Amino acid sequence: MRTKAIWILLAVVVLALAGCASDVTESDEYQDLEQELAAVEVQLADMTAERDELAAEATATPKASRYEKAQATQEAGMAIIADPGAFGTEGEVLDLLDEMAASGTVYGDAAFGSIGWRSGWRNTLFGQVDATIRTWTSWLSEDGSMGGSLWTWSGTARNGEPFDLQGIELSTFDENGLYTSVMVHYPFEDAEVMRMFSEGS
């Protein structure tokens, strides 16, 4: 395209020199060449802009996908659950967990009911019993919209006896990788879950 523009420009110059005393700029051939040259210059400018745009896209940092965002949120949450004390005070830990959830997200529990996100995590990590949570495995859908984990909640029941509660957590995530819902399920009847929590396994 650039070479074509140069040849057209040379043709214009040759015509101008060949015209000598006559005004070659008034000829139809000269006017046609000028119009063609202008069109080529426009095309060249468009191609240059497109080239620059493609180069910018090639060097730009790729945006994280929904899956990658949800995965990062899920992994950060599991790290906090595994060792809350490593992330600061109760308030600091809950603040971090708040940042992982969209506004209005509810913490659901099949046995204990559904409450607000922050309250749910306060009860789970800093409640009336001394307990820890060990995550055995986790999963995430290909599009990053749904996930879950298998875990054991172990500690001391309200009467001082040890307890071990196994369960699964099912979650959903928004486009930004933030939690939009969490629901906890147990392989026991609700009454048995409540008994184990109060009296031990």
According to the 3-state scheme, what is the secondary structure of the chain? Answer: CHHHHHHHHHHHHHHHHHCCCCCHHHCHHHHHHHHHHHHHHHHHHHHHHHHHHHHHHHHCCCCCCHHHHHHHHHHHHHHHHHCHHHHCCHHHHHHHHHCCEEEEEEEEECCCCCEEHHHHHHHHHHCCCEEEEEEEEEEECCCCCEEEEEEEEEEECCCCCEEEEEEEEEEEECCCCCEEEEEEECCCCHHHHHHHHHHCC
pLDDT by 10s per residue, the chain, length 201: 555 555 555 555 555 555 554 555 566 666 766 677 677 677 767 777 777 777 666 665 556 899 999 999 999 999 999 999 999 999 999 999 999 999 999 999 999 899 999 999 998 888 777 778 999 999 999 999 999 999 998 988 888 899 888 999 999 999 999 999 999 999 999 999 889 888 887
The CATH code of domain 66-199 reads 3.10.450.50
CA 72 centroid distance within chain: 8
pTM here is 0.67
Residue in the block written with tokens 């990590």: 125
With beta carbons less than 8 A apart as the criterion, state whether 184 and 110 touch: yes
Start-end ranges of CATH 3.10.450.50 in the chain? 66-199
